[in-house]
Amino acid sequence: MKFTATQIAGILEGKVEGNPNVEVWNVAKIEEGAPGMISFLANPKYTHYIYETLSSIVIVNDDFEATAPIQATLIRVPDAYACFAKLLAFYDQMTQNKQGVSSLAFVSSSAQCGENLYLGEFAFVGENAKIGNNVKLYPQVYVGDGCIVGDNTVLYPGVKLYRNTVVGKNCILHAGAVLGADGFGFAPQPDGHYEKIPQVGNVVVDDNVEIGANTTIDRSTMGSTHIHKGVKLDNLVHLAHNVEVGENSALAAQVGVSGSTHLGKNCVVGGQSGFVGHINIADGSKFGGQSGIMGSIKEENKEFMGTPIQPLRQYLVSNARFRHIDEMARKLEKLEKELAELKSGQTEK
């Protein structure tokens, strides 16, 4: 799909400086530009690239002043970064605007489906499921019996929703995400084997949630594993049974949250962090990457890091000292030797 500079300027309410009919069909960093590409310049550190870029169009701020000839057509806007983000959103919407139900998709006769759907090849919608308006189910998506998927939600290829999973409006679930698999519930028996505990609850995802590729959220033993509105989960996150994640919290890749742990609102969790089960985390808590959280956090808006976690400032001080541990060990060994020699001399007297 091609766009002219005039068309793009119309979308961004900008002003064209150069050839208004030049066409672009893809985006690129300004330093990696090529003919047919559109780039942007917002950071002054990259200004020198505008004089050598091969991109056909560059979006710049209104106050940009050129100091040498520029080959590219410019589109001047009040905020180049914000306008480029707007353009990317427009482009993404255009390219992802799929509609229609494939003849290879299956929808149960008892399912309720809204309007303007996209159901790709081998998408499956089970009995008594409810699918809202403008929903997109890409190929090989599985929506189990009794599931609910809200308006404008997108499920990318291979997403699996086990029975009775609820996903709200305006959500995005990336490829391979699995919601509603059994929680890890097993009771040890006297003879050493494990008896499976049935997991009869479900997963509830509120509106405006984004869930990364191959992330897994387990169904609750009873009640619901609950992901509140605005939460953002990266790829490869695992949330165990009966976990609750508060509004607008963000968890980076490979975070693991054990069963029945509750995270508050606006929490931020760095990659590869782990939470033990049955703890409560206060609103606004922030954890650096690879943090080990082994107890509840009661005070809001605090920062932590390390395993086990420490307050961030304390962790940084401790880490700085740890780098000198070899030197400290040598000094201690020397002091012990000198002390032993002093004691030996006193004994001889």
- Model pLDDT for residues 114-154, shown as the tens digit of each residue: 999 999 999 999 999 999 999 999 999 999 999 999 999 99
| Percent of the chain predicted with pLDDT > 70 | 99
Cα angle 317-322-327, degrees, rounded to a multiple of 5? 125
Residues 6+ away with beta carbon under 8 Å from 113: 107, 125, 131
In three-state secondary structure terms, 91 is helix
Whether the full predicted model's pTM is greater than 0.85, yes or no, is: no
Among 95, 121, 155, identify where a domain stops: 95
Residue with tokens 């949630």: 209
pLDDT-based confidence at residue 65 (cuts at 50, 70, 90): very high
**Token pair for residue 151?**
């308006």
d(CA 9, CA 15): 6
Cα angle 125-93-91, degrees, rounded to a multiple of 5? 150
Query: What pLDDT is recorded for position 308?
Result: 94
DSSP designation for 77: E
**Helix 312-322 crosses helix 325-348 at what angle (to 10 degrees)?**
60
Task: Mark whether 174 is an active-site residue.
Answer: no
Mean pLDDT in the chain?
95
DSSP designation for 301: S
pLDDT-based confidence at residue 349 (cuts at 50, 70, 90): low
Q: Which residue has the higher pLDDT, 342 or 302?
A: 302
Q: Do 150 and 275 share a domain, yes or no?
A: yes
Q: Do 131 and 255 share a domain, yes or no?
A: yes
Residue 298, burial from CB neighbour count under 10 angstroms (0-12, 13-18, 19+): exposed
Closest CA to 24 of 89, 60, 82, 72: 72
Residues 6+ away with beta carbon under 8 Å from 279: 261, 262, 293, 294, 295, 296, 297
Q: What CATH number is associated with residue 290? A: 2.160.10.10
Q: Which domain holds residue 326?
A: 317-349
**Token pair for residue 251?**
């968890």
Q: Do 202 and 266 share a domain, yes or no?
A: yes
pLDDT for 104 beyond 80: yes
Count of domains forming the chain? 3
Query: What pLDDT is recorded for position 203?
Result: 98
Residues 6+ away with beta carbon under 8 Å from 313: none
Q: Do 172 and 286 share a domain, yes or no?
A: yes
From the candidates 228, 238, 241, 262, give the one annotated as an active-site residue. 241
d(CA 175, CA 246): 23
Query: What pLDDT is recorded for position 321?
Result: 86
pLDDT-based confidence at residue 347 (cuts at 50, 70, 90): low
Q: Do 115 and 146 share a domain, yes or no?
A: yes
Q: Do 300 and 332 share a domain, yes or no?
A: no
